Structure 1
Amino acid sequence: MKRTSTLALTAALLASAAPLGLATMGAGTAHAAARTYFVSPSGNDSNSGTSTQAPFRTLQKAADSVEPGDTVSIMNGTYSERSAGSNVLTIKRSGLPGAPITFTAHPGHHPVIHPVKAWNGISVHGASYISIKNLEVKGNNAALTLAGAERESKKGDPTYNTNCISVEQDRSTGALSHHIEVTGNEVHGCAGGGISAIDSDHVTISGNHVHGTSWYAVYATSGISVLTPRDVGGGDAGTYKIRITGNRVHDNETKIKWEKCGCYSDGNGIIIDTLKGDADHPAYSGRVLVANNLSYDNGGSGVHSYKSQHVDIVHNTAYLNGRSTRMESYANIFAHDSTDVRLLNNIAYGRPGQATNSKSRNVDVTYDYNIYFGGKAPEVQGPNDVIADPKLTKAGTGADADFRLTKGSPAAHSGMPFAAVTTDFTGARRAGGAPDRGAYGFGAKNSGILGSASETASPGRQSAAPAGSGQSAGSDPAASPGVQAGDGTDSGSGLKPHSGSGPLAETGGSNPALPLSIAAVVLALGGGLLYAARRKRS
């Protein structure tokens, strides 16, 4: 066989693997062996960065050096922006399926990313396959005042508008951020948003502690927000592509008027915003899961779907949200102007006189198996919703608040099985049969470690109907919950399982190990054929 024929065959084999994601490598070909870069405030950007004895000094130097599969290991110290108006860390280089780029705390270390006059502590800027974990991002709220913000906060000035972590589009190139994981971080004290994903896709925000953000910005931010996501690689309402799970979110509030309307707005714990599209953004086709979150003492809502579609808000606990006196009180957990949204197995503990939920401009929205207490009577109530004291261990807004269920709680063993949520806030397996409502499973340990809330990859329907659900024992387990029309019923979205696995595939990607394995086989086969051809010619 001629060498040119051998190379052509190898190229053809590689081309045949293109549907599996091997044809284009994005940021470039992955290393033969992934590298770890180290960063320390005592380092030097002239160093190699590849050992703890010769670390880089700045996070940006590491971010500009990485290739797919690399890790940036951040050592003890405080990291701030080099100049006002920049970001502390801007991530533009991308990983690959099965070879994400990871930014994490060095083992045993507790680095602090501290934006002072930066637009963002961390900005994922048109990059893909990125993991940000185990970091603290601490804003500059402690050095700011409300009086100063009321006098000086304005567009174009990052001082009062700093976001902690932002996942966004690179508007200069049009590149969208996608396949992003933000997990296990403490995010707090930023004048702007806590964790936001704008014009992005395949995003997982899990196990984070987000508090004390959004106070002074003029942009109507929130603790965790997903705004106008964009479909990357297609999407359907039966596949979760965005997951907000296992987060503790509190004390986020807007105290400055939104520049767009001259009014107070947002400051929510968690908001899923404008998935139905608008004049500038197409509708989003994928599905969003918001599960196992604790959201309390926020200025706006606890969990909120606004002008959105294909959202499941399941097994969350919301307590005394809507604290802002600057605007009309938001409900704890609700949907507004939304379509195909399911709010199931939640606990919403409201303030006196506070709205409990909403039926405003909703179509095909289900409220069921929720527990409401405090506040006004629900505007819409599913047949299995309950109005009762959920009997939480030590409900409150302080550091010692404990939202676990106590003995005799009506939330215990009374929910609807939901196949996509198999664990609770702590990461413990949920009991079989009728699960517990809210973020905690009954008997859960009050660990100081936030749960990863690892759900199954499928949005699938409930596996079995509990007694009194209105669903017969012989009915299709993929059918919609047994809620009567007029009660905010979900008419069914044709959810189907999907086989994603691996650390990033749960956001809707395919198994990353498969294409890499095929690549190895293809390259080995091509190399073998070339070797055989050379032997024949010699």
Structure 2
Amino acid sequence: MGKFIKKICLCIGAVVIGLASALTMAATKAYAADYYISTTGNDSNSGNLKAPFASIAKAQAVASSGDTVYIMGGTYKKFNIAKSDNVYNYVVDITKSGITYEAYSMSDMPTFDFSNITTSKRVAAFRIARGVTDVTITGINVTGVPVGTQKQSECFRVEGNVTLNRVTCHDNAANGFYFVNHGTGTCYRCDSYNNIGVKGISMGNTDGFGAHGEGVTFKECRAWNCSDDGYDCLTSTGTNTFDTCWAYNMNAGGDSNGFKIGGYAMGTPPAVAPVHTVKNCLSASNGAHGFYANHQPGKSATWTNNTAYNNKFGNFDMLERVSTSDATDIPGTREVLHNNISFGGVALKDANLPNENVTDNSWNKSGVSVTADDFQSLDASQMTRPRGKDGELPDITFMHLNSNSDLNGLGCF
């Protein structure tokens, strides 16, 4: 009997412990919650679909990791500055990890218009704060970010970790996407265009995409008509990947490269400079270089199956520096280029590469030549056409090879 009673007590104890544990878990987080914001919402509301909040700030305050904040369509123009320091006004300051911010309907994507924000300091319209991870932002437009007399402003300043999906930054006086310091993440099917700074002040600091942090992946992104570079890796300490991305018409007054992959300028490079990946990308009609190694102190990238057209200072420029400790410029000796196409400009410059590093490109593959007849179209403006219904790159004929071209198998199409 004693053993039987003891066994019953043990069972009851286990049940009590299990129940207590379940209650604790339930109290902590029973399930992921959904919240909503609307241009007609109120931050005194409950935040549900029928009574949405008015601001991301309020939604973030009540949300927890794993939750989703749905953003209703319309234009958001009323903002309070969430935080300031000596240099920046941070308008929408993301300080919690693990939250998703998503358009309620991808057919009615919301717009955030920051044109009324003061320029007493640099503006960071959205900031992903240092140490914040696993944030996702999907399906929004950002416009009107001002710069005033500041050196630069940013639509997205990423110091933490974020995935940006189908996000567009357009018609700003600010960088579109700016990963800096410890910033990491992914830009997928994002666009950055008509972002132009002030002449003599910020024009040369206004890129479409800036990868200056610890490593970013860009896939199926586009940049056009920005006043500095389409994509810029200056001072990056991490490895960046550019896959099926486009750059067009950087001619507004800054450096004007399509893809500027590398370099540290006056900054101190890491002991071993990162090596980036540039593949299946298209760069056309830019005021400087199409693809540029930009004084990298070592190998800048592996460049594979890219297409460059009519870039003013050269389609592929592989300029390097001797090492991280010797800033002397040299024609690149370490770059790797395979299966690329160049047309309408200098194919390859500032390169002193071993033969095995440069194979099967349009300018050195045996038995091929490049003429206008190889391509279905030379109308680069097609690169700015609207995206498909799921955010896919538009269906274009520009630089697509004709079926009888001897270049088939090369380039990005």
TM-score by structure 1 length?
Answer: 0.56
Residue among 46, 53, 69 paired with 2:66: 69
For residues 66-145 of structure 1, the aligned pairs below 5 Å read: 66-83=63-80, 86-95=89-98, 101-107=99-105, 108-116=107-115, 117=117, 119-126=123-130, 127-140=132-145
CA contact (8 A) 2:100 2:137 kept: yes
Q: How far apart are 1:353 and its partner, in Å?
A: 5.4
Partner of 1:190: 172
| 2:176 aligned partner, one-letter code | G
SS of residue matched to 1:64: helix
Q: Structure 1 residues 363 and 80 mapped into 2: Cα distance closer, same or farther (>3 Å)?
A: farther
Structure-2 residue corresponding to 1:221: 206
Alignment partners' CA distance in 1, 2:76 and 2:138: 16
2:319 to 350, 355, 359: 359
- Compute the displacement of 1:345 (Å): 0.8
The TM-score normalised by the length of structure 2 is 0.72
Aligned residue number for residue 336 of structure 1: 294
SS of the counterpart of 2:302? strand
Report what 1:386 is aligned to.
362
* Percentage of matched positions with identical amino acids: 20
Structure-2 change in CA distance of 1:385 and 1:406 (3 Å): closer
Q: 1:81 to 1:196 in 2, by over 3 A?
A: farther
Are residue 52 (structure 1) and residue 49 (structure 2) matched? yes
- Contact 1:391–1:408 (CA under 8 A) maintained in structure 2: no
Match of 1:35 among 19, 24, 33: 33
8 Å Cα contact 2:33/2:68 also seen in 1:
yes
My pick for the range that moved more, 355-364 or 345-354, is: 355-364
Unaligned runs of 5+ in 1: 11-28, 96-100, 142-148, 156-160, 169-176, 231-240, 254-266, 276-282, 323-329, 416-436, 441-538
Mapping of residues 293-332 of structure 1, within 5 Å: 293-299=245-251, 300-307=256-263, 308-322=273-287, 330-332=288-290
The 2-side partners of 1:214 and 1:65 are apart by 36
After superposition, the CA RMSD in angstroms is 3.2
Counterpart CA distance in 1 for 2:406 and 2:65 is 45
1: CA distance, partners of 2:258 / 2:208: 10
Query: Structure 1's 208 and 32: CA in aligned 2 closer, same or farther, altered over 3 A?
Result: same
State the alpha-carbon separation in 2 of the partners of residues 409 and 209 from structure 1: 33
* Residues 1:393 and 1:32: Cα distance change in structure 2 (over 3 Å): farther
Q: Could you say if the C-alpha distance between residues 404 and 55 of structure 1 is closer, same or farther in structure 2, counting changes exceeding 3 Å?
A: farther
1:350 corresponds, among 288, 292, 310, to 310
Which deviates the most, 363-372 or 389-398? 389-398
Name the structure 1 match of 2:226: 252
Instruction: Please say if 1:154 is aligned against 2:150.
Output: yes
Residues 186, 291 of structure 1: alpha-carbon distance in 2 compared, 3 angstrom cutoff? same
Distance 1:272 1:336 in 2: 9
Which segments of 5 or more consecutive residues in structure 2 lack a partner in the other structure?
Answer: 1-8, 19-26, 82-87, 264-272, 322-331, 364-369, 386-395
Q: What does residue 163 of structure 2 align with?
A: 181
- The Cα of 1:222 is off from its aligned counterpart by 0.8
Find runs of 4+ consecutive structure 1 residues off by over 6 angstroms.
none
What CA deviation, in whole Å up to 9, does each residue of 1:45-68 have, x standing for no partner?
Answer: 01110x221000112111222211
Distance 1:77 1:318 in 2: 33
Deviation at 1:134, TM superposition (A): 0.8
The answer to whether the 8 Å contact 2:158/2:184 transfers is no
| Structure with more strand by fraction | 2
- Give the SS at the match of 2:205: coil
CA distance in 2, matches of 1:76, 1:411: 48
Task: Report the CA distance between 1:344 and its aligned residue.
Answer: 1.2
Partner amino acid for 1:403?
F
Count of equivalent residues: 332
For 2:336 and 2:406, locate their aligned partners in 1 and report how far apart those are by CA, in whole Å: 18
* Aligned-pair CA distance for 1:248: 1.5
Bigger RCO of structures 1 and 2 (CA < 8 A, at least 6 apart): 1
Contact 1:63 1:89 in 2 (8 A): no
Q: What do residues 374-398 of structure 1 show as CA deviations (whole Å, max 9, x unaligned)? A: 2224123723211424625352236
Is the contact made by 1:405 and 1:412 (CA closer than 8 Å) also made in structure 2? Answer: no
Q: Give 1:221 shift.
A: 3.0
Counterpart residue type for residue 397 of structure 1: S
TM-superposed deviation, 1:86 = 4.2
Partner of 1:396: 380
In the TM superposition, what is the alpha-carbon distance from 1:321 to its structure 2 partner?
1.1
Distance 1:392 1:273, change over 3 A: farther
- State how far apart, in whole Å, the 2-side matches of 1:376 and 1:392 are: 21
